[in-house]
């Protein structure tokens, strides 16, 4: 019974997160002219990426050996800057560093048949610790 409750709560929270993102994106991107919004896959949006700032690894996460990906849902404005972002998944200790990095990313303006559009997509930030060299085999 607890599992069903947890799943139901997760679905409610996910729906609330999507609604919250929709509201924040519409409020953040209001301009004199309503721009069309296009949804692109992560791979397709990567083709428009002009400036990718790497994250600064949080010292406490580095010290404890935490690695992984943080996935963010982002709104790219008509100017190519990340206007709004929301965390989809990732370790809590890595999320703020991922947010700070992605807010500095720059994208090529999305132009479809002469019409500039805002873009909603996913951005993935990878956190990997350097691997120590293995000692030589004897």
**Residue 138's pLDDT is what?**
60
Integer Cα distance of 107 and 83 in angstroms: 11
The domain tally of the chain equals 1
Q: Determine, yes or no, domain membership for 132.
A: no
Mean pLDDT for the chain overall: 81
Q: Determine, yes or no, domain membership for 66.
A: yes
Percent of the chain with pLDDT over 70: 71
Domain that includes residue 92, residue range? 2-127
Q: Determine, yes or no, domain membership for 26.
A: yes
Q: Which of 10-24, 43-57, 63-77, 96-110 has the lowest mean pLDDT?
A: 10-24
pLDDT at 70 over 60: yes
CATH number at residue 37: 3.30.2420.10
Integer Cα distance of 34 and 79 in angstroms: 14
Integer Cα distance of 39 and 2 in angstroms: 36
Integer Cα distance of 57 and 119 in angstroms: 27
What digits encode the pLDDT tens for the residues 72-102?
999 999 999 999 999 999 999 999 999 999 9
13-24: average pLDDT:
48
Q: Determine, yes or no, domain membership for 135.
A: no
Q: Determine, yes or no, domain membership for 134.
A: no
Q: Determine, yes or no, domain membership for 75.
A: yes
Q: Determine, yes or no, domain membership for 73.
A: yes
Q: Determine, yes or no, domain membership for 138.
A: no
Q: How many Cβ atoms from other residues are within 10 Å of residue 96's Cβ?
A: 14
> What b-and-e string marks burial along 104-122, b requiring 16 or more CB atoms within 10 Å of the CB?
ebebeebeeeeeebbbbbb
**Residue 21's pLDDT is what?**
53
> Is the model more confident about 32 or about 38?
38
């Amino acid at each position: 019974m607890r599992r069903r409750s947890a799943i139901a709560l997760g679905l409610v929270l996910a729906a609330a997160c999507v609604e919250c993102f929709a509201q924040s994106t519409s409020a953040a991107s209001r301009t004199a002219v309503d721009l069309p919004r296009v949804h692109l896959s992560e791979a397709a949006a990567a083709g428009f990426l002009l400036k990718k700032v790497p994250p600064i690894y949080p010292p406490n996460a580095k010290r404890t050996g935490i690695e992984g990906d943080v996935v963010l849902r982002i709104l790219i404005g008509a100017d190519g800057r990340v206007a709004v972002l929301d965390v989809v998944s990732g370790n809590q200790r890595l999320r703020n560093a991922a947010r700070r990095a992605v807010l500095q990313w720059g994208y090529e303006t999305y132009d479809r048949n002469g019409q500039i559009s805002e873009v909603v997509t996913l951005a993935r930030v990878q956190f990997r610790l350097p691997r120590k060299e293995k000692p030589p085999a004897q």
